[in-house]
Structures are given as C-alpha cells and as structure tokens.
C-alpha cells in the first residue's frame, strides 16, 4: 500500500486528523530543507508537501513567490529536490512525501524520466497545480505505474460535473482550496467549508484535506472538525522568510506552530 | 504533418492545437474559463453580437484600416512591392483594440463590472482602459515595473483613461510577470472580474477568441489585396511576441497555399547570444506557462528564461500555441530580427514614408526589407504595421543619447 493511503488509514482508525505542512524546497538554502522536514515530522506532521520552486508560481501569493525566489537564487532544481527526498528517506521511511509545484520543470525533465526518478527517490504523490485532470492524460497511468499518486485540487467554484471528474481521477487525498485567491490570502469560514465538503463526500471516499487560510491552532481545529486534514503553508514559509539569516532557529519555529496545531487537532479529536 | 490537421478547424474541444494549447490552470480558475467558453460559444455565431462588434469596429475603431502601398520605400529597396496594413491608424494606435472591443462585449454580456489586463508595451493596456472607460467598467492594468519605466507615455494614457496601473516587481519585471499577477488577481476576484488577455496565448478559450477577434485584420487585407493588387499577395509578414497581430493577419489566408507567411520574432541582441525573445526561431523546448503548452524559453531545470528585446511588447518567453503548430506543420516560417536592424527599419520607414512604426511592428519591417530585396518588382508583400511608434519615442531618444 502507498504510504499516503496507509497514513490516512491509520489516522482514520485512530480518529485523528492529518496535519500536512508545506515548505518550499531550497528555501532559504538547499542544505536546510531535509532538517526542516524532519523537524516537521517530529512536531506531528502526517504528510509532507514539498514545494518544487518555479520561476512563475501563478497560483501563489507573495510569501511563496518569495520562497521560490530564495530557492532559485541557490539554483534549486527538480533534480535537487529529488535528492533531498532521497536524503530524507535515510532517516524516515514512513512519512509520505508529496511534491507540489508547477508543470514546466516536470515537462522539461520528461514525464518518463520524472516518474522513474521520483519513485526511486521515495516520492509518494504529485500535486501539479497547473495540471488539472483534463490535461494529465496518459501521465496518470505513468505516475500510477511508478507508485506516484496524483493529488488534485478542488475549489469552492468547482462545478458538480467537474468535481465528479476530479474525484474520479484523484488518489491519496483531495486538496480543497478553501478560499478564492492565491496562497496566503485572508481568513476562512469553517462552517461554509464544511458544507462544501459535505457536497464532495457524496462523490468520493478519498480523504478531504483543506488548505489556504490555516494560520494557528484555532483555525486548524475548526477545519479539523469538518475535514480529514489541514494543510498549512504560508505561516511556515513566513517563519522561514523571517529567519532566513538565522536558519538554525527555523526548525524550532516550525515546530512551535505545528506543535500547537497538532495539539489543537488531537484535542478536538478526543473531545 | 499538415495533412493530419485541418488548420481551419482548430482548436479541438479541449483547446488543443495538435500537441499545443490546452488549459493548464489551477482548479481555482477552471470555473471562470468554463464560464467564458460558454459565453463565447453562445455568442460566436449570433448575428446580433457580430453586428454589434462590426459596428464598434467601424464607428469607434475606424475600420477598415487602409492597405497602403509603400511605393517610395519599395522603389528604394528595389524588389517586391511592400503594402502596409495600417493597424497604426486604429483608435488607440494599434491592432490590440480589435480584440479588446470583442472581449469588452463579452465582459458586458457576462455582467461583470470590473476588467483587468496585462500589458507589455502598454498598447493592450491602453486599448483595455479605453473600452473600459467607454463601458463604465472599473479597470486595473498589470504592467512589469521595467515596462512601466520604458513606456511612461502609455502609463499616463491609461491613468488619464481612469485605469489603475499596477507595476509588477516580481521576476523579470516584464510582460510574463504582469500576466502572472493578472492571473493572481483574477483567481482572487473571479466573481466580479473579467480578464481581457491581450494575445493569442493563455488558457483555452483565449487563444481562440483573441484570434477570432483579431482576424478582422486578415479578412480586410485579403479583400483589399484582391481590390488593390488584383490578386492575393505573395507573402505576409508580421511580428510575433505572443502573436496576436500575426495571427489576425495570417488566419484568413491559412488555406491560400500560394501566400507565404513569415512571423518575425524579437531577436534582441541575436538569437545566438541567448539574449532574445524568439522561442520559435531558437527552437526552444516544449513547455507549459500561463495555461498553455507551447515553445517556451526555459533552462534545463524548467525555469522560465529571462528574455531581451528593445520592444516591450515582444518581450515574452512563450508564443501562442497556434503559431507553435503552424511552425511544426510548416505553414508559417518564423525568423527573428535583431534590435539593431529593428531600429534601422524604424528610422527608415519614418524618413522614407513619413510613418513612424511601433518598435514591435518594426521587426516585421526589418524582415520585409530583406525579403523584398530578394523578390521581383511584380511581387507583393503585405506587412502588418501593427501599431504606431509614438510610444517608443522615449526609447529611441534614449538610444540616441537624448533625455526629455
């Protein structure tokens, strides 16, 4: 069984919610990324979303744009990100890793090459922001053959017909974008998200995880009430940005945020 | 390869032009694109909509634009006769307004009170601000900070027209970054905002609808050629950044096999130097940016490359997907003109014909000059003079060492 499916099965049996941090690989410099990943796991992360930096992150707000710029300043390429996963796997063979990013670096590497290398590196899933199910075509089967689950986004504006298509193609979990806009935008309304998730549950048995707008323990717990997991990116990347000159302080800062969320999610689960 | 594609029947239902095009966007935009596709499908063949569009083009834009015989310049070159399709005489001074009039009508039908656009040289921004003023729509224009600097005149024009110009500081601070920012705005304000894309790129259905609205250029040029030359021209020449003016001229001739077509990209300091904006000429690898698959200048790791051109409007690392297919099937030849030759052509047309072209259009002129010299005086070339050069006076003066 794929690590992602296994992890969600375990969480379900425990009645717990998934905590899924996102960080951009290579930010503030490539040598730190693997340490950050381990720190996230120690603080209770269930799945890791590892961002592949891209020059034109069209769906991201300024925080993650700048993270990409910092990573690219150090020349962080897709091959380097895969090497980071290899390194991470030396000490962690359990935590699922999902690569998140844009299509062009994969397109340029070549789909066959990418699928083979990602599998060999220990990647479990791929979330390509600008590759909706309509455009994934034969690559869905290719990724599947190489044990890479295709994770897709769903939005509040997604029509029922499209939601059915996406649920049909989705694997691992579905990433529900809770807000209109780019990453790092505004605050969210857990009740409204809950209604939307109810609509989706009629279409799929996949775990529904919610991203965009989760900032602290309280918002994580509120979303944890209605979703199977929470995805947290911008607040973590903000810490990395603020502490870019003192990277040794970053793991503890990430752990402080994730620890609070973990505790809040688990408290809600038992209550 | 061309036998596999009927070039008049593209894109397919999913917006693909052979291996190019498509709709590579975040899920958050899918809804808006579906909505746009449906609005356009319902109006495309509606005679009332077409009549409204034609009426605006006639009375507001001032169409048809003339097909002017550059007799003196042709004699100086001593080869083929050069005819200029005078898109520079349109209201707002460039071909861009044809498309913005069309998309503004769609915006009106969609009931959205706000329009946004990206712009490079500022011509598309001005054209968008113009139609927004006329329809009473709120308007915001995204423009790379570097372009804001080199196109001050157009920035102020947009301001006077009531639009807000947002300088984009990210990335290379040019057209591609302006498009990223416009997409981010659209994703955030999709409920009340219509995105008027200015070129035949972007996600489906934009390449198709920008082509359709721009094709009035080629329909007129074809008819005018028959009337004024007495036959179809031997060649068409147009500059290509994203490729909207070239697409507009070429598309109605696509089945006229006897008409050669040449798209002229921005060679910058020379394609061999790597400092250019000519993905087709340089055989850039296939890539995905801004919602479509096309020839895309990127490095080995797939990061989009910085581009270089004296003209802000052609400073783009990709190209419309239909052009990509036309290159592959051999229907259109793509070449590049370097900055130096472009500036020479800009000066020459101004002095010889009293017509000051936009630096973008001067790319087409630079190549037409070479091509005409190799042809006979009884042959004819139609060049798309896609815009006027007033906006570029600053840039040219600076090169001449003059600051205003």
Range scoring the smallest mean pLDDT among A42-46, A77-81, B311-315, B372-376: B311-315
The model's pLDDT over A146-170, given as tens digits with 9 standing for 90+, comes to: 999 999 999 988 999 999 999 999 9
Length of chain A, in residues: 271
Q: What is the pLDDT of residue A81?
A: 98
Is A55 within 8 Å of B23 when comparing Cβ atoms? Answer: no
What is the Cα–Cα distance from A24 to A92, expressed in whole angstroms? 19
Total domains, chain A: 1
**Owning domain of residue A216:** 3-266
Give the number of other CB atoms < 10 A from CB of residue A190.
Answer: 18
Domain with A60 in it: what CATH number?
3.20.20.70
| B203 interaction partners in chain A (CB closer than 8 Å) | none
A226 part of a folded domain: yes
Residues 6+ apart with CB under 8 A from A198: none
A123 part of a folded domain: yes
Q: What is the pLDDT of residue A251?
A: 98
A25 part of a folded domain: yes
DSSP states along A99-150: EEE-HHHHHHH-HHHHHHHHHHHT--EEEETT--HHHHTTHHHHHHHTT-EE
A219 part of a folded domain: yes
The model's pLDDT over B173-227, given as tens digits with 9 standing for 90+, comes to: 989 999 999 999 998 898 899 999 999 999 999 999 999 999 999 999 999 999 9
Length of chain B, in residues: 404
| A77 interaction partners in chain B (CB closer than 8 Å) | 300-303
The model's pLDDT over B314-323, given as tens digits with 9 standing for 90+, comes to: 999 999 999 9
What is the Cα–Cα distance from B203 to B189, expressed in whole angstroms? 18
A95 part of a folded domain: yes
Which residues of chain B register pLDDT less than 70?
1-3
Under the phi-then-psi rule, with left for phi > 0, alpha for psi from -120 to 50, and beta for the rest, what region is B359? alpha
Is A56 within 8 Å of B301 when comparing Cβ atoms? Answer: no
In this prediction the pTM is 0.96
pLDDT tier at A182, thresholds 50, 70, 90: low
Does A270 score more than 70 pLDDT? Answer: no
Q: What is the pLDDT of residue B150?
A: 80
Q: What is the pLDDT of residue B65?
A: 98
Average of per-residue pLDDT values in chain A: 95
Is A182 within 8 Å of B184 when comparing Cβ atoms? Answer: yes
pLDDT tier at A185, thresholds 50, 70, 90: low
The model's pLDDT over B5-30, given as tens digits with 9 standing for 90+, comes to: 899 999 999 999 999 999 999 999 99
What is the Cα–Cα distance from A237 to A220, expressed in whole angstroms? 17
Q: What is the pLDDT of residue A179?
A: 74
A271 part of a folded domain: no
| B176 interaction partners in chain A (CB closer than 8 Å) | 56
A187 part of a folded domain: yes
| A58 interaction partners in chain B (CB closer than 8 Å) | 26, 180, 183-184, 290
Q: What is the pLDDT of residue B308?
A: 94
Per-residue tokens: B402:
């003059």
Closest C-alpha among B341, B268, B311 to residue B150: B311
A48 part of a folded domain: yes
What is the Cα–Cα distance from B2 to B11, expressed in whole angstroms? 14
Per-residue tokens: A161:
């017909």
Could you tell me what percent of chain A has a pLDDT over 90?
90
What are A's interface residues with B at a Cβ cutoff of 8 A?
54-62, 65, 69, 72, 77-79, 102-109, 129-132, 134-135, 152-155, 157-159, 162, 166, 177, 180-182, 185
The model's pLDDT over B72-84, given as tens digits with 9 standing for 90+, comes to: 999 999 999 999 9
Q: What is the pLDDT of residue B2?
A: 52
pLDDT tier at A104, thresholds 50, 70, 90: very high
Q: Report yes or no: B309 and B315 within 8 Å, Cβ to Cβ.
A: yes
Tell me the shortest Cα–Cα distance from B80 to chain A, in angstroms: 42
The model's pLDDT over A242-269, given as tens digits with 9 standing for 90+, comes to: 999 999 999 999 999 999 999 999 997 6
Q: Report yes or no: A47 and A18 within 8 Å, Cβ to Cβ.
A: yes
Is B188 within 8 Å of A180 when comparing Cβ atoms? Answer: yes
Is B31 within 8 Å of A155 when comparing Cβ atoms? Answer: yes
Whether this model's ipTM surpasses 0.90 comes out as: yes
Tell me the shortest Cα–Cα distance from B153 to chain A, in angstroms: 28
Could you tell me what percent of chain B has a pLDDT over 90?
93
Q: Report yes or no: B124 and B243 within 8 Å, Cβ to Cβ.
A: no
């Amino acid at each position: 069984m794929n690590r992602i499916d296994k992890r969600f099965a375990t969480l379900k049996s425990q009645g717990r919610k998934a905590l899924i941090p996102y960080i951009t690989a290579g930010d503030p410099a490539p040598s730190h990324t693997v340490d950050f990943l381990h720190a996230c796991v120690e603080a209770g992360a269930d799945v890791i979303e590892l961002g592949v930096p891209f020059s034109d992150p069209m769906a991201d707000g300024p925080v993650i744009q700048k993270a990409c710029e910092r990573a690219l300043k150090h020349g962080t390429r897709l091959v380097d990100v895969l090497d980071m996963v290899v390194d991470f796997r030396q000490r962690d063979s359990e935590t699922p890793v999902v690569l998140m990013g844009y299509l062009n670096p994969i397109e340029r590497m070549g789909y066959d090459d990418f699928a083979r290398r990602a599998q060999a590196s220990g990647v479990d899933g791929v979330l390509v922001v600008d590759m909706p199910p309509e455009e994934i075509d034969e690559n869905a089967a290719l990724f599947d053959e190489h044990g890479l689950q295709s994770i897709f986004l769903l939005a509040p504006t997604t029509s029922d017909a499209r939601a059915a298509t996406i649920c049909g193609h989705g694997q691992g979990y579905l990433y529900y974008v809770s807000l209109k806009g780019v990453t790092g935008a505004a605050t969210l309304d857990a009740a409204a998200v809950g209604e939307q998730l109810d609509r989706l549950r009629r279409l799929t048995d996949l775990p529904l995880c919610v991203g965009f707008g989760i900032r602290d323990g309280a918002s994580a717990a509120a979303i944890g009430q209605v979703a199977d997991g929470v995805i947290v990116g911008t607040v973590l990347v903000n810490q990395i940005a603020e502490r870019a000159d003192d990277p040794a302080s970053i793991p503890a800062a990430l752990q402080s945020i994730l620890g609070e969320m973990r505790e809040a999610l688990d408290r809600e689960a038992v209550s | 390869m061309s036998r596999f594609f009927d070039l008049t029947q593209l894109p397919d239902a999913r917006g693909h032009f052979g291996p190019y095009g498509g709709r590579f966007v975040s899920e958050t935009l899918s809804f808006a694109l579906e909505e746009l596709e449906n609005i356009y499908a319902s109006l495309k063949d509606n005679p009332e909509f077409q009549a409204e569009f034609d009426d605006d083009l006639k009375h507001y834009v001032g169409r048809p634009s003339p097909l002017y015989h550059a007799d003196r310049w042709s004699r100086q070159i001593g080869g083929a006769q050069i005819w200029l399709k005078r898109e520079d005489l349109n209201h707002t001074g460039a071909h861009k307004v044809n498309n913005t009039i069309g998309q503004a009508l769609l915006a009106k039908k969609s009931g959205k009170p706000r329009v946004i656009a990206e712009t490079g040289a500022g011509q598309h921004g001005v054209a968008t601000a113009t139609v927004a003023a006329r329809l009473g729509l709120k308007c915001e224009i995204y423009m790379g900070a570097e372009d804001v600097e080199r196109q001050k005149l157009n920035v102020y024009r947009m301001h006077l027209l009531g639009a807000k110009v947002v300088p984009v500081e990210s990335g290379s601070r040019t057209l591609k970054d302006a498009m990223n920012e416009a997409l981010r705005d659209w994703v955030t304000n999709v409920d009340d905002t219509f995105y008027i894309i200015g070129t035949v790129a972007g996600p489906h259905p934009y390449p198709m609808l920008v082509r359709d609205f721009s094709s009035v250029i080629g329909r007129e040029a074809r008819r005018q050629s028959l009337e004024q030359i007495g036959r179809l021209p031997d060649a068409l020449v147009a500059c290509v950044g994203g490729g909207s003016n070239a697409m507009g001229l070429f598309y109605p001739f696509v089945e006229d096999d006897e008409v050669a077509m040449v798209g002229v990209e921005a060679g910058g300091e020379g394609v061999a130097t790597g400092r250019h904006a000519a993905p087709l000429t340089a055989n850039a690898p296939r890539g995905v940016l801004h919602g479509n698959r096309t020839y895309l200048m990127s490095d080995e790791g797939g990061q989009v490359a910085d581009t270089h051109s004296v003209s802000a409007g052609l400073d783009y690392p990709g190209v419309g997907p239909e052009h990509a297919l036309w290159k592959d099937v051999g229907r259109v030849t793509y070449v590049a003109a370097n900055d130096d030759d472009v500036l020479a052509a800009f000066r020459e047309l101004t002095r010889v014909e009293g017509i000051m072209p936009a630096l973008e259009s001067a790319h087409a002129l630079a190549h037409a000059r070479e091509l005409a010299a190799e042809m006979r005086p009884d042959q004819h070339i139609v060049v798309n003079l896609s815009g006027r050069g007033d906006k570029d006076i600053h840039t040219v003066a600076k090169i001449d060492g003059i600051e205003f």
